Amino acid sequence: MTEFLVRLKQRKLVQWTLAYIAAAFALLQGVDIVAQRFGWPDQVEKLLILVLAIGFLVALVLAWYHGERGAQKVSGTEIVILALLLAIGGGLLWGYERIAPNAGAVVAARSPDAAQRNPGTIIPNSVAGATSSGLRVALAAAPAIPIPAKSIAVLPFENLSEDRGNAYFADGMQDLILTKLADIGDLKVISRTSTAKYESHPDNLKAIAQQLGVAAILEGSVQKAGNQVLINVQLIDARSDNHLWAESYQRTLDNIFGVEGEVAQKVADALKAKLTSTEQQNVTAIPTQNTAAYNWYLKADYQAHKAFDAQDGAEFELAESDYRKAIALDPGFALARAQLAYWKMVRHWFVAPLPPGELAKVKAAIDSTLAIAPDLPDAHLALGYYYYWGYRRYAEAAKQFERVLQLAPNNVEALGGLAFIERRRGQWPQALATLQRALLIAPRDAEMLGEYGWTLCITRRYAEAEQVLMRALTIEPGKTNNQDALWTTRLIGLGDAQGARNAYVPLPGWRLDASENIGDAGDVDGLINPIVYPDVFERHFDKALLAWNSAPVNTDAEQLTRRAARVAIQVIAGRQPAIQSECAQLKPPLDAELAKNPDVIGNLQQVAWVDLCLGRNADAIAAARRASEVMSVERDAYFGVYTLAGLAEVEAHAGAKDDSLKLIRQLLDMQAGEAMSTERLQRDPVWDPLRGDPRFQALLKDHADAKPVAAASGAAS
């Protein structure tokens, strides 16, 4: 051993090794610079690294052979110099390539379906340490795509005003410029929801551009002091870090109108984008020339986004008040009128439903706005969501969203609306393709990415769904909508109860009000509650009942929910005889609640399971069937599967095995992976009444190799 070390010291192996590494490092640095300039694919650098790794082994052999022919002592000075060069070079590379820290929360996208999977602030343990670096588009198993030269992300503008209360002005200017750019079809423009998490002037533009899939970055700052406004903007080629264009705008509030259009035009010119005549008109259009109205509009827009993040009705009222002030000062301010209508529909869907009279006023306001500005994308967007969120008139809504995309091809809210309508109409390949299109301009949008993962779950692509949802939770760890989707993917799709529990760390709120928590109402797992259903799934019935004792019950409705859930658990466990008295006492208040709200799915479901407990099987089936009629798959392919699954569950326990098996087969033949899978049928005790039936086992065998739906051919990825 000692002789070997002496011989090793005599040879210049260390010097050869360090020299080779230093040369390889320098070569990779040079190739990286050239690759960025000419847009070479990543595979070139990967191949070079592989060749250099093989060459390293060859170099060691040659070094040993060289030392054998002429032993030389290793110079300590040489080793120190090479080591220092290597350390400095590695440090520089790390500083140049480091990925942006995940600072701040992503602004939630305005997802039309998110209202029915409640928001929260939960950080799942399973994704707490994950990283999202190096992503170009947020799709699972998606091939890398070329970054278009005419692509841009507008980072949040920095507020340089001494008055921090002027943040709304900087935010509003960025949003107006972004909206103008989104109207240009020749550009790929990243959505606000994907850029909001970044700093105004980050050091690592190249990494950010790769994450967002763009070639250029627009940075800006706004300084407002009294009547004076200074706006600085600069357009940067993120691949080379070269400035493509920069300009300062020194304005007063009474002549600031149109700056956003000027900036958008200069950016389009710098990126060599071609504008149609309609796009040219939209970019140069000035929404108002009333200084005070303009200022109130910017405040309203800022407040509306704040209200959406908080899901707070009072915050929405503040935003609506500011919009009305802007409109009162300039009745022809079409953009303000359209945005007011849009945000009223957002509030209707996500916070509190508007009465029919208020919905009629929204429609009248949209119609009058379109009379003023027939080609305003924001007005058509508001009308689309009026039809969708207000009345589920999908065809009319889709027509409006398509019109928005004709006028503003980069409008992610319109793409999202189309995708969610396609889901509700059962057009699953189209929905996946449209969501992929949306993710190209919203790659860091945790909500949109979560909806894509959720749709994969529905179409029984569970492994892909889990990957996508984990990625969405990495981007925004506290989004309960995505945790709900991950819970469903793991428990219902994969039969993994512990994995489902890990989707919620710590546990979310119980969400107890059956009249408000639409969610997966109809399916027994929604009634029993996601917090405890994994215990039921694993037949730990007493543990599930004990957990309900700690539920924060504060109202009579919540008390009814808890009592009905406990009944359902014990019916599944086969303990009906022991709870007859409890069920008899619970029946009258549930019937009274149902009489007041006869079409509330949660109430119908509670009545059905209490009727099962009391042996009133025909009544139980009737209540469950009514729920499936209120929210049928024909009306809504997205949520109708829950009530259909709930009916099958009730029929199974009511002795109507033929009908239950028929519905199960129907659900397995549909894209209903969020409610029905072979894994669930094999493990969930809710199906125990059917387990000994040969037809049930045959059904499992027939669907064991069911193929999931794929995205439409030619879809963007």
Q: In this predicted model, what pLDDT tens digit does every residue of 628-648 receive, in sequence order?
A: 999 999 989 988 999 999 999
pLDDT value, residue 52: 73
Label residue 521 by pLDDT band (50, 70, 90): confident
90/500 Cα distance (integer angstroms): 41
**E strands, 171-241, in order:** 188-189, 216-225, 228-237
- What is the rounded end-to-end Cα distance, in angstroms, of the chain? 57
Lowest mean pLDDT among 154-158, 344-348, 349-353, 380-384: 349-353
Determine contact, residues 521/602, Cβ cutoff 8 Å.
Answer: yes
Average pLDDT for residues 373-398, to the nearest whole number? 97
Give the pLDDT confidence score for residue 31 in this predicted structure. 66
Choice among 44-58, 294-308, 333-347, 566-580 with the minimum mean pLDDT: 44-58
Q: How far apart are CA 99 and CA 593, in angstroms?
A: 54
Q: When comparing pLDDT for 17 and 130, which is higher?
A: 17
CA 22/CA 11 separation, integer angstroms: 19
Band the pLDDT of 51: cuts 50, 70, 90: confident
Q: How confident is the model over 594-603, as pLDDT tens digits?
A: 999 899 999 9
**Residue 90 to residues 15, 18, 24, 44, 93, Cα–Cα distance (Å):** 18, 13, 12, 21, 5
Res. 36: pLDDT tops 90: no
> What is the average pLDDT across 60-74?
55
Residue 281 has pLDDT above 80, yes or no: yes
Residue 58 has pLDDT above 70, yes or no: no
Q: What confidence tier does 704 reach under pLDDT thresholds 50, 70, 90?
A: confident
CB-based contact 117:458 (threshold 8 Å): no
User: Which whole number is the average pLDDT over 508-516?
Assistant: 67
Q: Would you state the pLDDT for residue 12?
A: 60
Q: Which CATH number fits domain 291-502: 3.30.1300.10, 3.60.15.10, 1.25.40.10, 1.10.3720.10?
A: 1.25.40.10
Q: What is the pLDDT of residues 283-333, one digit of tens each?
A: 999 999 999 999 999 999 999 999 998 888 999 999 999 999 999 999 999
Contact between 210 and 134 under an 8 Å Cβ cutoff? The reply is: yes
Residue 661 has pLDDT above 80, yes or no: yes
Given a cut of 60, is residue 245 above it in pLDDT? yes
Mean per-residue pLDDT, 148-155:
96
Question: Domain 524-702: which topology?
Answer: 1.25.40
Determine how many CB atoms are found less than 10 A away from the CB of residue 195: 25
Q: Record the tokens describing residue 7, joined without a space.
A: 């011989």
Is the pLDDT at 6 greater than 50? The verdict is yes
Neighbours of 66 (CB within 10 A): 15
> Residue 535 pLDDT > 70, yes or no?
yes
Determine what percent of the chain is predicted with pLDDT higher than 70.
79
Model confidence band, residue 354 (pLDDT cutoffs 50, 70, 90): very high
State pLDDT tens for residues 488-503.
Answer: 999 999 999 999 999 9
Q: What is the mean pLDDT of residues 154-180?
A: 92
Q: Decide if 388 contacts 364 (C-beta within 8 A).
A: no
Residue 164's pLDDT band, with cuts at 50, 70 and 90, is confident
For 51, residues 6+ apart whose C-beta sits below 8 A from its C-beta are: none
Please state, in angstroms and rounded to a whole number, the distance separating the CA atoms of residues 363 and 374.
15
| Region 225-253 average pLDDT | 93
> How many residues does the structure list for the chain?
717
Q: How far apart are CA 478 and CA 228, in angstroms?
A: 39
Confidence of residue 61 (pLDDT cuts 50, 70, 90): low
Give the pLDDT mean for 703-717: 53
Contact indicator for 610, 590 with CB cutoff of 8 Å: yes
pLDDT above 50 (res 684): yes
Distances (CA, A) of 629 to 388, 568, 634, 663: 20, 22, 9, 14
CA atoms within 13 A on the CB side of 624: 33
Architecture of domain 151-284: 3-Layer(aba) Sandwich (3.40)
Tell me which of 45 and 280 has the higher pLDDT: 280
- What is the pLDDT, as a whole number, of residue 120? 29
Mean of pLDDT values over 685-710: 86
Whether the bond between 506 and the residue before it is cis, its omega within 30 degrees of 0, is yes
Instruction: Say whether 179 sits in a helix, a strand or coil.
Output: helix
For the segment 345-356, the average pLDDT, to the nearest whole number, is: 94
Structure tokens at 37: 């300039």
pLDDT number for residue 100: 36
Q: Are 537 and 684 in contact (CB under 8 A)?
A: yes
